Structure 1
């Protein structure tokens, strides 16, 4: 056999062999969505199910464990499934907020192992296209002078993710979050309808859901609450930080495991996520599911969670949600 043919044969053999070495050997891998089918947790698990396929030895099964917006699952993985090395559970920034405000019971962020992320969405400060607010500074000046003069609305009650975005804005404007004139809606769709109808002036939503409305010319985003400016179609929209206000809200979506999972089992999942993050295919899955890349796994995610939870705890304390 010629050297050329031998080299080609070795390359082919390597191409077939490579996935076997790259895959994590996980027995009956499972992603638990702590809600009913449909919605954010289901979406998060579907990203793992599809995006990790080339990087785990068996197909990932998605199961559902609804109750308490994640509370039932968090309790189960802190009691009867603390060492389950086959299962990951979907979470969001809202889950972290629930931990902080005690909605998940006695367990804290330190009782589980944070594995990897599915991606992220970011908060957005949204007004109608014909709003008097042309930029974030005008809004923040009004918040500073008289917080109750601005009607803010979003999907979720006081203490929810969307409420927290408004609270952050008021705090940065030198006002108390408790002074915010806030109207709660059942979901983002209702809040958007209220904004378009004129019953609220500002919507503290998520940037990912705004694409069709911006394209239709109905609304304007004053700022995104991302650490850095986003890519198209949001490349022309400044961040709140750029505008001089230290306000950031990342809607993180990811996965945790029980606190007693072995280092070996934990690392298998971390390795699978890191391998997936390095591929264009995973980025495409994120895009198709409406999420933006925010890829962290293992120690990096663990440190990020601790920082995020402390920030949420500070805000929740200041807002009177916890003592």
Structure 2
């Protein structure tokens, strides 16, 4: 076992995370570190299906849901038990890297090998279709008047990426640090469960990724108050951006994969090549854009550098808004 893996294995128990028993991968497997229905589940299932259907991967890709700690349980499991398994991928995103940057995983980004990203999701602020709030101004004005008046939910914990995006809007709206920290935040294990609870009246708004809740938008059950993108989203061109409403805030969430830190160079490069081959297909573009993703590729060394830089940026943002000291 490498020194890094020894340190991480120790950290698993030090942080109270439970390592799941090792599973020997006889075929390709993708771990979605959340319950079915969320963005990581979508990433694993869509990419796995297309890899098989298009003949890029010889066998079907098994999807394993492993929720817990906003990805920390899966991270601990791979680092401590499956670090050298070359057939294994784990879905992750800006959400996961934010958790790492805030010290909420048992190890840093250098513990894993970062394979590639195929697209980026767009953050959205949503409310029920019959909500009294018709614009992001309406919601933020209500929060400014009483930060505790509207519970807001997302798929990350307090200080996670979904929460940070809301706080960035609150900051842009002129709320003070103490006021926007008083906003009631509720965590669910995925954007879809958060929206389901919102429709049941448990929370008043949801901050999450469009890809996780696109079906609720299409069905007309919810409305988007603000898309946190530079330009309108191609799949939902009528969704107003925060920028168009006077708030200079964007909140992208890339979708990609890591594998264990002890995976061989050959196995690592094979995954990079397979994902790039998938990215270049019309089928991936159609699947991604149909779920509100913007297709973009970073892989191999370029992606590893990007992840390290983003972790540093997330740490700086987290400190600037008081999430970590």
| TMscore range, shorter length | 0.7 to 0.9
What are the Cα deviations for residues 95-116 of structure 1, in whole angstroms up to 9, with x where unaligned? 22332233321x1112222112
Q: Give the distance between the partners of 1:63 and 1:193, measured in 2 at CA.
A: 23
Q: Cα distance 1:235–1:39, how it changes in 2: closer, same or farther (>3 A)?
A: closer
Task: Find 1:239's aligned residue among 233, 238, 241.
Answer: 241
The runs of 5 or more residues in structure 2 that have no matched partner are 1-24
Q: Give the distance between the partners of 1:217 and 1:63, measured in 2 at CA.
A: 30
Q: Cα distance 1:30–1:236, how it changes in 2: closer, same or farther (>3 A)?
A: same
Report deviation, 1:231: 0.7
Q: How does 1:119-130 map to 2 (within 5 A)?
A: 119-129=119-129
Q: How does 1:98-177 map to 2 (within 5 A)?
A: 98-105=99-106, 107-129=107-129, 133-140=133-140, 145-146=144-145, 148=147, 151-156=150-155, 157-174=157-174, 175-176=176-177, 177=180
Q: Cα distance 1:198–1:30, how it changes in 2: closer, same or farther (>3 A)?
A: closer
Report deviation, 1:256: 0.5
What are the Cα deviations for residues 7-54 of structure 1, in whole angstroms up to 9, with x where unaligned? xxxxxxxxxxxxxxxxxxxx9652331547734444322223222234
Structure with higher Rg: it is 1
Residue 293 of structure 2 is matched in structure 1 by: 292
Residue 229 of structure 1 is matched in structure 2 by: 232
Residue 302 of structure 1 is matched in structure 2 by: 304
Q: Give the distance between the partners of 1:63 and 1:212, measured in 2 at CA.
A: 21
Q: For the Cα contact (< 8 Å) 1:142–1:149, is it kept in 2?
A: no
Q: How does 1:173-184 map to 2 (within 5 A)?
A: 173-174=173-174, 175-176=176-177, 177-183=180-186
**Secondary structure at the residue paired with 2:257?**
strand
Report deviation, 1:206: 3.2
Q: For the Cα contact (< 8 Å) 2:285–2:295, is it kept in 1?
A: no
Q: For the Cα contact (< 8 Å) 1:65–1:73, is it kept in 2?
A: no
How many equivalent pairs are there?
A: 293
Q: Cα distance 1:95–1:173, how it changes in 2: closer, same or farther (>3 A)?
A: same
Residue 90 of structure 1 is matched in structure 2 by: 91
Report deviation, 1:230: 0.9
Report deviation, 1:271: 1.7
Q: For the Cα contact (< 8 Å) 1:125–1:203, is it kept in 2?
A: yes
Residue 312 of structure 1 is matched in structure 2 by: 314
Q: Cα distance 1:192–1:62, how it changes in 2: closer, same or farther (>3 A)?
A: closer
TM-score by length of 2: 0.72
Report deviation, 1:317: 2.7
Report deviation, 1:314: 2.7
Residue 47 of structure 1 is matched in structure 2 by: 46
The runs of 5 or more residues in structure 1 that have no matched partner are 1-26
Q: Cα distance 1:147–1:161, how it changes in 2: closer, same or farther (>3 A)?
A: farther
